Structure 1
């Protein structure tokens, strides 16, 4: 474990990455979040950053609290939500699926089967609001990011970058290999929270065709007004 002060009110803890590290970090976050002098805790793949009130607790006191917690926390079973997410893998939505097929020497059906078989874990929400970084992808699909990122990736695009997969919640630039698209709205901004997913949740993809995609997209637009 390594602790690093990154500002006057933030300390980052870094741990060696293992596939089962995410539940530990989530349990660690839950343990610290109930303390009134902590503003926020932010999870990464192998880090957790603690933002605290420096007027109420010093850096050294915060380091002692984090160190003590790291020795107490156990990665308990998480009561996570399982989301079933439809994806259309048609070329119209999977801009890079043929590239992945050629790169990995796989048929279209094999790519779909490999991508929809696992149950993925939401390790954390990343570079844009609500973007889930998902672990658990079959390594037969491992494909490097694009050499030249696109300036615009459509909302709902499902991509691969290295050994991970994820979903673009909104239209944005990006360099992931896009293999499909979901019509599901990932930023509901409702009473349950601003994002559909949370760290610790699980995701299961299932394939749909273009007609099913368009119908679900209409339903989502009626539901959310966009």
Structure 2
């Protein structure tokens, strides 16, 4: 059984890359369609690489696999295969992974927590409670290898970026930028508001699976104290 797929735009980016646009905003429903499209295309077109973003999907492919009878690349053939894969119902759309991320909030681990409290007019304890309450979706990875952009932040915690970005943010820092939250996978410059830090390693280029989190994963944060942080850090 097939079902209609929402309207989308396809833009050529290179000889071996197209961009599928399924929307134009940072929206949890649009992002859900992006991940559903990625799941169907990975199942139906195993030789096409899919890279999700907030409202679009990058497709990388080998043009030599999509030739017409004259030996030329056929965009029509590829587009037809994409449309066919998207119309297949979601038998291949497996349940997302769910991961718990331990976070030590405030103090040296989250030096902007009190600034966030002042801006939101919430106590630090209420900020921690609200930040750990939702189940977030990894909307995309970007900015740096393994950096997860997480959708699902409580609107009451929305916070402008810092007027003066830091030249180095410690690895594992959990931060708020606008209406999003994220985790710095390594020491990087950044302007998001730091509220905590996880002892988990988010990115290891030498590992078989370098990134701890992947697009489409579900994430919950769990508050820990300094002792538990050091115990986790020693084990990783």
TM-score range, shorter chain: 0.7 to 0.9
* Contact map agreement 2:139 2:151 (CA 8 A) in 1: yes
- What SS does structure 2 have at the residue aligned with 1:203? strand
Shift of 1:165: 0.6
Which 4+ residue blocks in structure 1 deviate beyond 6 angstroms?
none
Alpha-carbon distance in 2 for matches of 1:159, 1:136: 14
RMSD: 2.1
Alpha-carbon distance in 2 for matches of 1:77, 1:5: 26
Matching residue within 148, 163, 184 for 2:164: 148
- Gaps (5+ residues) in structure 2? 1-7, 67-73
TM-score relative to the length of structure 1: 0.87
- Residue 46, structure 1, aligned to residue 55, structure 2: yes
Matching residue within 11, 15, 20 for 1:13: 20
Task: Give 1:91-170 correspondences, 5 Å limit.
Answer: 91-170=107-186
Alpha-carbon distance in 2 for matches of 1:190, 1:129: 13
Number of the residue aligned with 2:76: 60
* Count of equivalent residues: 218
- What SS does structure 1 have at the residue aligned with 2:28? coil
- Gaps (5+ residues) in structure 1? 221-226
Deviation per residue, 1:67-122 (Å, 9 max, x gap): 44444455986422211111111221112112111111111101101101111111
Structure having the higher Rg: 2
* Contact map agreement 1:9 1:52 (CA 8 A) in 2: yes
Alpha-carbon distance in 2 for matches of 1:78, 1:160: 29
- What SS does structure 1 have at the residue aligned with 2:116? helix
* Contact map agreement 2:40 2:86 (CA 8 A) in 1: no
Alpha-carbon distance in 2 for matches of 1:199, 1:209: 28
Number of the residue aligned with 1:184: 200
